[in-house]
Homo-oligomer: A and B are copies of this chain.
């Protein structure tokens, strides 16, 4: 009798083990997410540093001048653009420093620690990047269209190159913002799903 009871019990243990091992298997996609995370970070580094460099080198001097004035527009004409250059450089620097943590997530796809660390810092730097991108966009919009009620004239007719350069910097920074949103969503899924 004891042996007949014995056999189903040991098979139960084997079944239990199979169930315990099974949930670890489907997490294989987490390694793929981590690799995607690393690649997206490389793209965001290029976008952020490209935006900072494009904005930082924007400078146009008009070919005519009066006795007292020379007409010049550069990124430090606007406090907002100075803020943009600084924050985009900071965001680029953070992204470079975050690469090792992304590598850890590739090597250990099931570790929660590095992803949690990245998701929190990503959120903070997403806010920073969005703030500088949006404020620069608002100024670029005013430079293109001016404002009637306050009598601010559009400057892009005169400073065409300057406007083109700052506009492309803003576009590049929004690419970095979109990548940040993707990174956070991917990390959240990788943490939340088994």
Q: Say yes or no: is A139 at the interface (Cβ < 8 Å to chain B).
A: yes
| A154: nearest chain-B partner, CB-CB | B150
Count of chain copies: 2
Cα distance A124–B181 in the bound complex, in angstroms: 7
Asked if A138 contacts B191 (CB within 8 A), the reply is no
**Known A-B contacts A127-B181, A142-B139, A147-B77; A9 and B2 likewise in contact (beta carbons under 8 Å):** no
Q: Say yes or no: is A193 at the interface (Cβ < 8 Å to chain B).
A: yes
Asked if A120 contacts B6 (CB within 8 A), the reply is no
Q: Say yes or no: is A141 at the interface (Cβ < 8 Å to chain B).
A: yes
Q: Say yes or no: is A130 at the interface (Cβ < 8 Å to chain B).
A: yes
Cα distance A189–B104 in the bound complex, in angstroms: 19
Q: Nearest Cβ distance between residue A152 and chain B, in whole angstroms?
A: 4
Cα distance A51–B140 in the bound complex, in angstroms: 24
| A83: nearest chain-B partner, CB-CB | B138
Query: What would 7 more interface pairs be, CB under 8 Å, given A79-B145, A115-B192, A126-B127?
Result: A116-B189, A136-B138, A138-B139, A143-B150, A150-B155, A152-B152, A152-B153
The 5 A-B residue pairs whose C-beta atoms are closest, nearest first, are A135-B138, A131-B134, A77-B149, A130-B130, A134-B134
